[in-house]
Structures are given as structure tokens and as C-alpha cells.
Structure 1
Amino acid sequence: MSRLRTRPTRDDTCEKLFEAAARVFEEQGIGGASIEAIAAEAGFTRGAFYSNFKSKDELIIAMLEDHVAQSIRRNLDLLARHRTLADFLDALKTMDRSRQDPLGRSPLLHMEMILFVARAEQRRPDLAKRLRARRKLVADIVETTLRNDGRKRARNPAWIAAIVLALEDGFRLHRLIDPETTPADSFLRAIGDLHGAIGISSA
């Protein structure tokens, strides 16, 4: 009996294109990478690329959107199993990052893609949408862990989330520039140091 051939789903195709694009971007640069090179790296035709994305810009936006969506899922899953802030931070420290999406594994590529999108004013709303999603995630984590810790409500969870993400992006950049004086756990250590400040009650 012959084996049935199953066609890859759109999600499977997109995942292969994301992985291939990440490799091509790292080798050739985002500006220099062609759609043909990305499709070939994924083992697809040019037509297969265009059946999923209208342009390289659309692919990049989709990669950023997928990165944020995966980050939200991972963090909410951790939060369901590690209810206090201390436990949650410990779990983040031991997370297997090899299983993350290409942008989670490569902070440099992640930042390059953000800058690539931000250079065109018409693309910035897409970035802003994802930034707001990340801020909401962090604000929800702050409120949930404080409640589980039995502590008072934070003064302004949304502002705390903005500070936390700015710290994360800043330490990511510092580690790329000077890894010798910026340990891999710098961001999480900083959050741990701010643990007390996060719990200040509203006035």
C-alpha cells in the first residue's frame, strides 16, 4: 500500500521560510538578501515564496510578529507553572533558548530587523503594535506575580513594563558590544535587583 503524501501546511512553509531568511540575512545582510536566495535556502521556488508573502518586507513583519507571539506563549506558559516573581525569574534563567524562534536565538539579527523596519516611517506602526503587545505581557506578569506574592498592586504596571523592556533591549545591545563586561544574565539580575521597587503600592 503506497504511503500518502501530505502537503506541508502554511504554518510549516512559513516556519521554513523564517529559518531560511534568518540564515540568509545573517550571511548576506537584510538589505542584500534576495527573495530568490531565501526561497532557495528553504528549498522552495520563488512562486512558493510569493504564495505566502507579497514581499521581503511582509516576510520580515511576519517574522517579528511570530517572534512576539512565541515570546508571549512561552512567558504565559512559564507564568502558569511559576507563580511568584522569584520563581518566574529562575525559570527564565534556565530556559532552553535553542528551542526559540530564529530571532530569539539571535539578538543581533532581531535588532537589525527592528532597525530595518523602523527606517521606513510607514512600517513603524507594525513595530509599535508589537511593542505594545510586549508591554502588555510584562505588565500582566508584574500584576500576576505581585498578586501571587501577596504584595500590593504596583503603582503603574504599564510604566514598569516599559522600563523592563528598555532594560532588556539595552542589555541586549550592551552584550553585543561588550560581552566581557555584560554577562548573559545581566538583564535578569537587574530585574531581580528591581524586585523590591516593583512592589511599591500606589499612592
Structure 2
Amino acid sequence: MRTRPTRDDTRDKLFEAAARVFEDQGIGGASIEAIAAAAGFTRGAFYSNFASKDELIIAMLEDHVEQSIRRNLDLLAEHTDLDDFIAALKAMERSRRDPLGRAPLLHMEMILYVARAEKRRPELAKRLRARRKLVADILQGAQLGGPNRIQDPSWAAAVVLALEDGFRLHRLIDPDTTPADNFWRAIGDLRRAMGLVSG
């Protein structure tokens, strides 16, 4: 018995197809027709879900942030100790349903593409604030032990995200001098400087 795909299934297929087409043709050069065809849909099916390519991109970025928040909250529920949480985060595999989690260069390109349109920047700001709140909640909720708790989790979250984004960009530009573990090394150094870990 054949069943029609759900709206979520259609969106997921369009996200995956768009990621492939964007990587092959570039975001600016990719057409709605090419994205729909790569997903196995008609142009009409695309427009029944998204009004434009820009709206698709915003939805992909939103989906990426939502999946990231969900994964991190699930881990935090299992690991209240910050060291345990960080170890679990390092070991966590990227979700197969998150194309931007698997393609950091495309993720960065999409952010810059949206940021070029001033009217779209509030959409990005909303996602950035959600990421900051997640990290701040993790820092505030994790049991750091002793009197040396983070005084301003929101500021610490902004620093953590700036480090993550910066090292991601540096690794894409110059992977030979930017090892994959640089972000985690920087987090370890930061925690030691703040007296949050021993050694």
C-alpha cells in the first residue's frame, strides 16, 4: 500500500537535496528546479513547502539549530557533570538527518548568504541567541564543583560560540595548522584559566 510522504518527510528530503545542490552548484547558482529535481519532487512540491530559496535556507538553519539544541539537552539530561558532558559531546555522532552538521563549510556559507540581506539578519540573530542560551544553560546547569562557578554564563556562552565558529572557519581555510581538536583544547585552557578544572 502506497502512502503519501508527510510534510516533515518532504522537508527533510528537500533539505538533503538542497545541501547537495548547494555544495555542487553554489548557493547563488542553485535553482529551485534543481533542488526539487534532486529531491525527486516537482517545482510545485517545493512551493507547497517554501515560498522561496531564501525561506528554504532559513528553514535549514533553523532545523540545524533545533536539532543541535535537542541533542545537547538529551546529553545534558544524562550527564550533569561538565567533564562527563564534554566527553559525551565529543563522542556524539552527527545526526544523519542534519546535513549542515555534516557540512560545516556549507553551514558557514549559508549563514553569510543570509547575513548579506539586512532584512534577514534578525532571523540569524534569533538562531544565534538560541545557541547562546543553550550553552549558557549548560554552563549554569552543570555541576562544576567548589566555589569557582561561572559568574556570567551568558558572556561565557558568547565566548564559547565565538571560539567554535572561529576555529571551524580556520580549519576550513588551513586544516594543516588547525587540528580538529583545537576548539576542545581552547575550552580546556579556558576552564583552567578560570579555575574550573585542576591541572
Worse overlay, 149-158 or 173-182? 149-158
Q: Aligned to 1:149, which of 144, 147, 167?
A: 144
Matched-pair contact (CA < 8 Å) for 1:142–1:157: yes
Matched-pair contact (CA < 8 Å) for 2:12–2:97: no
Please give the secondary structure, in 2, of the residue aligned with 1:38.
helix
The number of residues matched between the two structures is: 195
Please give the secondary structure, in 2, of the residue aligned with 1:92.
helix
Q: Aligned to 1:48, which of 45, 56, 73?
A: 45
The CA distance in 2 between the partners of 1:39 and 1:69, in whole Å, is 24
Q: 1:195–1:46: structure 2 CA closer, same or farther, 3 Å change rule?
A: same
The CA distance in 2 between the partners of 1:41 and 1:139, in whole Å, is 39
Letter in 1 for 2:109: E
Matched-pair contact (CA < 8 Å) for 2:82–2:144: yes
Give the corresponding residue for 2:11: 14
TM-score (norm 2): 0.94
Q: How does 1:51-130 map to 2 (within 5 A)?
A: 51-97=48-94, 99=96, 101-130=98-127
Give the corresponding residue for 1:185: 181
What percent identity do the matched residue pairs reach?
A: 79
Cα displacement (A) at 1:171: 0.3
Give the corresponding residue for 2:32: 35
The CA distance in 2 between the partners of 1:13 and 1:29, in whole Å, is 22
Matched-pair contact (CA < 8 Å) for 1:154–1:199: no
Give the corresponding residue for 1:196: 192
Q: Aligned to 2:157, which of 138, 158, 161?
A: 161
Q: Deviations over 1:106-161 (max 9, x none)?
A: 1100000000000010000000000000000000000111xx23344411111000
Letter in 2 for 1:156: D
Worse overlay, 45-54 or 152-161? 152-161
Q: RMSD across aligned C-alpha pairs, in angstroms?
A: 1.4
User: Which ranges of structure 1 fall in alignment gaps of 5 or more residues?
Assistant: none
Cα displacement (A) at 1:88: 1.1
The CA distance in 1 between the partners of 2:49 and 2:146, in whole Å, is 47
Cα displacement (A) at 1:8: 0.9
User: Which ranges of structure 2 fall in alignment gaps of 5 or more residues?
Assistant: none
Letter in 2 for 1:195: R
